Structure 1
Amino acid sequence: MYKMTIEPRVSETDGVGHINNTVVPVWLEAGRNPLFKLFTPDHNFDHWKMIIINMNIDYESQIYFGIDVEIYTWVQKVGNTSLQLYEEVWQNDTLCAKGHTTYVNFNVEKQASERIPNDIRSELERHFYEVEKHGN
């Protein structure tokens, strides 16, 4: 599992007094930074590998300014060229959002998906989500 702490900003708070739903996908993406580094160590967009192909988010509870948020990212499945992530957003010991995101390992120059290399696959397997522990 990858973990990141986010400090909500005033500008992310909407007129109803909670963090706007459009902010959560951005926070989830921030939680994926270690994965981006794994696939593209130099963060050079000319060689970028991870292309998002699907994202689904369920909003469970409101999120508020002034209280840190924890972003948890697990690898749920690794295919030949793609991987699926399971992600959660927590604030004050409350699950606020959860989602699934699928990426494909993509070669920008060839404009084609590529097999996930074995060394990356091994690292991803260290972060597998265990249903027995978490219940989702």
Structure 2
Amino acid sequence: MDVFGHVNNNKFMVLLEEARVAMMFDTAEEAGLTGFREGVVVARHEVDFLLPVVVPAETSVEIWVERIGNSSFTFAYDLVANGKVALKARSVMVPFNTETQRPRRVTEAERAFLERWTD
């Protein structure tokens, strides 16, 4: 918590990361897709803090794919605390080749998986 008794802003980023990792690794692997585990990086975060959150709080993260490009895709999130949207955010993700240390294109299998999560 911060000095005002609110959940610190960096803790929100951890919650968003947990939602993103669950989708890209756990849910994708259950669907037979392992490409994200081979490499993906965050290129940008955009966060709007709408309401302070104090502990204890019942929280959940809603996550969906907002955009799919040729070499990046964007997750959008709503973090809900005690029934109210407390945060809206976006993360631009870039598939990454860890051997060459270079970005790579979104594969057709990755695109098909991500399209399932668009609104």
TM bin, normalised by shorter chain, reads: 0.7 to 0.9
Distance 1:122 1:69 in 2: 29
Q: Deviations over 1:73-104 (max 9, x none)?
A: 11000111110111111012211001111010
Shift of 1:34: 2.8
Q: How much is the aligned-residue C-alpha RMSD, in angstroms?
A: 2.1
Residue type of the alignment partner of 2:66:
Q
SS at match of 2:12: helix
Distance 1:30 1:124 in 2: 17
Unaligned runs of 5+ in 1: 1-12, 130-136
Residues 36 and 50 in structure 1, CA contact (< 8 A), matched pair in contact too: no
Shift of 1:36: 3.1
SS at match of 1:73: strand
Distance 1:124 1:54 in 2: 18
| Cα 1:107–1:35 shift into 2, 3 Å | farther
| Cα 1:15–1:50 shift into 2, 3 Å | same
1:58 matched residue in structure 2: 48
> Among the aligned pairs, what percent are the same residue?
24
Q: Is 1:75 equivalent to 2:53 in the alignment? A: no
2:82 matched residue in structure 1: 92
1:107 matched residue in structure 2: 97
Aligned residue pair count: 114
SS at match of 1:123: helix
Shift of 1:21: 1.3
Residues 46 and 91 in structure 2, CA contact (< 8 A), matched pair in contact too: yes
2:4 matched residue in structure 1: 16
Please report the TM-score for the alignment, with normalisation by the length of structure 1: 0.75
| Cα 1:43–1:123 shift into 2, 3 Å | closer
| Cα 1:42–1:80 shift into 2, 3 Å | closer
Residue type of the alignment partner of 2:113:
E
